């Protein structure tokens, strides 16, 4: 894009040089000594007098006007065409007047849900004699707070609420202060839960999203690994390295937002959605047989097996979810068909065909304090998607539908979407609110995702998962303190293999000498859930990348979330009574988690 103003500059400069040369030539010519012109020389009216003068003036006028038009195009480009482009930003930062203007005022503070100054997510501190922007949570909330820098732009709350944070807090402030102070923002985040969730991931690649019910307010949204949001403000070299590495290997980068803007396979957590569709379609009492030989979908020769060769026999929906039976949900998905599954998926805001938008512009609810464009740029996730065409063909077969029905295949989910799936089930009336990051925003319904009766039955099924199913081992420490519900998930995802030193994709050559990128399988651990069982007050989703079974790696993180929420009194519950379906010793199931 810079080539346009560069070319226009050259044209203007060349025109001015030519204009100057012509004027100089004309002046020199007009001052020739009269002695060089014979008195008896014939007079040519085209070479002397008014005709010659007018011709010169017309040429100079045309050249001057042309230069003015080019200059006008040049300035028009910088005013209307260039702002917002990377090239413009790189050039604009060289103008120190812009930097002085950007630093002439102080942004408002960003608070957690309490609104207390000591629990600020973004504030100012005095560093010697200089006032600097401070992010107390550092890495544990970088994906939320973001950063605000004239050179490197803004992200997170600093971008999503840029207008509010820069808007003077009062007219008096604007008139009396040489450095106006912006308005403050109170968020829904709990600073302690946010920090705890980040620590529970312990540096592993993964994400946690925790929602407060019934209004789906975000209590914590963590992405790991992360970065210090002050790096762009103080260390140009470190920031450039982070950005360069993010381009090379985005799957490994701390700049990648794994909670909000990364697609994952949902694994067996998707069985919750299939269970809702089954119950709503009148198939809640359907029984299928899980055998050692696996399930063959119609017109398929590829068996669908359960993890580790588990065989569950002939079972119903409740036990199938409890033990995470792949064969059951594969058969249920084929029997339901794409239409019924699509209907339920769309209620949760999940796309079921080709993606129509790069970002979901209508998922969040926020007040007029946030500019919609800036907010979507900062927090708009890619729409979650399941591929469910209306008819089968060569690319979509009953086998494709079967594997999608237990969470594999081309399913694409964000962790926020999986948290909303848990929140929809946890809703007492089956209604799901749009999520919010800003405190005090009027609730807005995403829609009725299922009937209250369906939600109650699925909650009971998810309770059996933590009481005696695939997550029983992890949730043993909570037994007797609080009753919860959840669903494990294990997803096999194909990923690029990178060289740990150079961060370049590893390559090999086949027998024909052709080079190809090495790929491997990442076994991601997932868990979604809610607490407490009797009156759900939080819903959450957890993923730990390449960590194995959900019951072993993700469920313990979920347990830590519930314990911290209890400690912070974000949830309250009476200790559950021991029932007959909670044996003292529980068999660990080896089904897909």
Angle 533-341-351 from CA coordinates, rounded to 5°: 95
| C-alpha–C-alpha distance, residues 331 and 341, integer Å | 13
| Eight-class DSSP state of 298 | T
- Specify if 240 maps to a domain: no
Kindly state whether residues 50 and 120 are assigned to the same domain.
Answer: no
| C-alpha–C-alpha distance, residues 588 and 324, integer Å | 12
For residue 302, pLDDT beyond 60: yes
Place of tokens 């560093």: 127
Provide the pLDDT confidence category of residue 583 given band limits of 50, 70 and 90.
very low
| C-alpha–C-alpha distance, residues 374 and 321, integer Å | 41
> How many CA atoms within 13 Å lie on the side-chain side of 365?
18
Q: Mind listing the pLDDT tens digit for each residue in 320-339?
A: 999 999 999 999 999 999 99
Closest CA to 487 of 521, 460, 451, 523: 460
- Specify if 130 maps to a domain: yes
Kindly state whether residues 138 and 160 are assigned to the same domain.
Answer: yes
pLDDT score at 585: 36
Kindly state whether residues 49 and 117 are assigned to the same domain.
Answer: no
Domain end (from 192, 214, 232): 192
| C-alpha–C-alpha distance, residues 414 and 556, integer Å | 20
More confident call, 15 vs 179: 15
Domain end (from 158, 192, 226): 192
Choose the most confident range, by mean pLDDT, from 87-91, 116-120, 124-128: 116-120
pLDDT score at 179: 61
Kindly state whether residues 134 and 184 are assigned to the same domain.
Answer: yes
pLDDT score at 262: 95
Q: Are 422 and 397 in contact (CB under 8 A)?
A: no
Kindly state whether residues 52 and 114 are assigned to the same domain.
Answer: no
Closest CA to 545 of 492, 487, 475: 492
Q: Are 585 and 501 in contact (CB under 8 A)?
A: no
Cut 0.75: pTM above it: yes
Which pair of structure tokens corresponds to residue 565?
Answer: 């929420």
Phi, psi of 530 (to 5 degrees): -150, 165
| C-alpha–C-alpha distance, residues 463 and 322, integer Å | 8
- Specify if 492 maps to a domain: no
Instruction: Provide DSSP, 376-444.
Output: HHHH-PPPPB----SS--SSS-HHHHHHHTTT-TT-BB-HHHHHHHHHHHH-TTSEEEPPBSBTTPPP-
Q: Which helix (H) or strand (E) holds 338?
A: helix 326-347
What 3 state SS string does 22-70 have? HHHHHHHHHCCCHHHCCCCCCCCCCCCCHHHHHHHHHHHHHHHHHHHHH
Domain of residue 82 covers 3-29+44-92
Which pair of structure tokens corresponds to residue 333?
Answer: 């998905």
Kindly state whether residues 15 and 65 are assigned to the same domain.
Answer: yes
- Specify if 61 maps to a domain: yes
Q: Are 546 and 210 in contact (CB under 8 A)?
A: no
- Specify if 107 maps to a domain: yes
| C-alpha–C-alpha distance, residues 286 and 334, integer Å | 13
Q: Which helix (H) or strand (E) holds 563?
A: helix 550-567
More confident call, 182 vs 210: 210
The residues near 4 (Cβ < 8 Å, ≥ 6 apart) are 77, 81
CATH code of the domain in which 146 resides:
3.90.1310.10
pLDDT score at 120: 95
Q: Are 162 and 374 in contact (CB under 8 A)?
A: yes
pLDDT score at 579: 43
The residues near 59 (Cβ < 8 Å, ≥ 6 apart) are 22
Kindly state whether residues 8 and 72 are assigned to the same domain.
Answer: yes
Distance of alpha carbon 273 from the chain centroid:
22
Phi, psi of 383 (to 5 degrees): -60, 135
Kindly state whether residues 107 and 82 are assigned to the same domain.
Answer: no
Q: Are 467 and 578 in contact (CB under 8 A)?
A: no
Q: Mind listing the pLDDT tens digit for each residue in 66-109?
A: 777 777 776 676 666 565 555 555 555 445 455 555 555 788 99
Kindly state whether residues 56 and 130 are assigned to the same domain.
Answer: no
Domain end (from 177, 192, 207): 192
pLDDT score at 369: 82
| C-alpha–C-alpha distance, residues 285 and 278, integer Å | 9
Q: Are 547 and 525 in contact (CB under 8 A)?
A: yes
Cα distances from 517 to residues 250, 497, 504, 507, in angstroms, run 15, 8, 10, 4
Specify the range with the lowest mean pLDDT, choosing from 66-80, 109-123, 222-236, 287-301: 66-80
Q: Are 553 and 525 in contact (CB under 8 A)?
A: yes
- Specify if 158 maps to a domain: yes
- Say how many residues make up the chain: 593
pLDDT score at 27: 63
Number of domains composing the chain: 2
| Eight-class DSSP state of 80 | I
Q: What's the average model confidence in pLDDT over 40-57?
A: 60
- Specify if 458 maps to a domain: no
Kindly state whether residues 131 and 181 are assigned to the same domain.
Answer: yes
Q: Are 329 and 319 in contact (CB under 8 A)?
A: no
Kindly state whether residues 86 and 23 are assigned to the same domain.
Answer: yes
- Specify if 12 maps to a domain: yes
| Eight-class DSSP state of 77 | I
In the chain, count of helices (H) and strands (E)?
A: 19, 19
Q: Mind listing the pLDDT tens digit for each residue in 396-427?
A: 999 999 999 999 988 999 999 999 999 999 99
Kindly state whether residues 86 and 112 are assigned to the same domain.
Answer: no
Place of tokens 């068909």: 337
| C-alpha–C-alpha distance, residues 184 and 124, integer Å | 12
| C-alpha–C-alpha distance, residues 469 and 319, integer Å | 9
pLDDT score at 5: 61
Q: Are 147 and 154 in contact (CB under 8 A)?
A: yes
Which pair of structure tokens corresponds to residue 213?
Answer: 């019910």
Provide the pLDDT confidence category of residue 154 given band limits of 50, 70 and 90.
confident
| C-alpha–C-alpha distance, residues 465 and 330, integer Å | 19
């Amino acid at each position: 894009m810079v080539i346009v103003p560069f070319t226009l500059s050259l044209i203007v400069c060349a025109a001015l040089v030519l204009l100057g040369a012509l004027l100089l030539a004309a002046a020199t010519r007009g001052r020739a000594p009269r002695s060089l012109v014979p008195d008896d020389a014939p007079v040519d009216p085209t070479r002397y007098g008014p005709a010659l003068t007018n011709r010169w003036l017309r040429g100079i006028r045309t050249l001057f006007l042309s230069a003015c038009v080019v200059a006008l195009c040049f300035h028009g480009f910088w005013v209307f065409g260039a702002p917002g482009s990377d090239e413009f930003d790189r050039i604009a930062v060289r103008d120190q007047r812009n930097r002085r203007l950007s630093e002439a005022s102080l942004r408002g503070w960003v608070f957690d849900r309490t609104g207390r100054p000591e629990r600020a997510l973004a504030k100012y501190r005095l560093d010697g004699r200089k006032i600097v922007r401070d992010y107390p949570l550092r890495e544990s909330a970088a994906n939320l707070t973001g950063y605000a820098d004239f050179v490197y732009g803004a992200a997170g709350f600093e971008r999503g609420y840029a207008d509010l944070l820069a808007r003077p807090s009062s007219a008096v402030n604007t008139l009396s202060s040489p450095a106006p102070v912006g308005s403050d923002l109170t968020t829904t985040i709990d600073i302690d839960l946010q920090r705890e969730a980040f620590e529970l991931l312990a540096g592993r690649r993964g994400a946690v999203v925790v929602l407060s019910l019934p209004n789906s307010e975000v209590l914590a949204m963590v992405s790991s690994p992360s970065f210090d949001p002050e790096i762009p403000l103080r260390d140009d070299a470190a920031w450039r390295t982070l950005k360069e590495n993010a381009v090379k290997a985005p799957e490994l980068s701390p700049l990648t937002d794994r909670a909000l803007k990364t697609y994952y396979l949902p694994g067996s957590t998707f069985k919750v959605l299939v269970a809702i569709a089954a119950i709503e379609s009148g198939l809640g009492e359907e029984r299928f047989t899980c055998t050692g030989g696996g399930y063959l979908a119609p017109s398929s020769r590829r068996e669908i097996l359960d993890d580790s060769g588990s065989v569950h026999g002939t079972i119903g929906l409740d036990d199938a979810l409890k033990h995470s039976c792949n064969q059951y949900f594969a058969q249920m998905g084929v029997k339901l068909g794409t239409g019924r599954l699509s209907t339920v998926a769309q209620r949760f805001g999940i796309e079921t065909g080709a993606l129509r938008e790069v970002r979901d512009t209508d998922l969040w609810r926020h007040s007029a304090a946030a500019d919609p464009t800036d907010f979507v740029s900062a927090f708009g996730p890619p729409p979650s998607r399941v591929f469910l065409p209306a008819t089968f063909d060569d690319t979509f077969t009953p086998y494709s539908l079967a594997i999608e029905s237990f969470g594999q295949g081309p399913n694409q989910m964000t962790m926020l979407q999986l948290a909303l799936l848990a929140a929809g089930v946890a809703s007492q009336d089956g209604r799901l609110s749009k999520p919010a990051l800003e405190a005090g925003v009027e609730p807005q319904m995403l829609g009725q995702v299922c009937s209250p009766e369906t939600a109650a039955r699925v909650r009971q099924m998810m309770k059996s998962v933590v009481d005696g199913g695939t997550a029983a081992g992890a949730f043993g420490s909570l037994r007797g303190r609080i009753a919860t519900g959840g669903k494990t998930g294990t997803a096999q995802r194909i990923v690029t293999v990178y060289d740990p030193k150079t961060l370049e994709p590893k390559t090999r050559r086949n027998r024909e000498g052709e080079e190809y990128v090495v790929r491997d399988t990442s076994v991601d651990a997932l868990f979604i859930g809610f607490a407490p069982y009797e009156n759900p007050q939080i819903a959450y989703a957890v993923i730990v990348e390449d960590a194995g079974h959900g019951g072993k790696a993700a469920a313990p993180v979920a347990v830590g979330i519930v314990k911290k929420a209890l400690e912070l009194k974000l949830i309250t519950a009476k200790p559950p009574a021991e029932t007959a379906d909670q044996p003292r010793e529980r068999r660990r199931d080896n089904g897909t988690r």
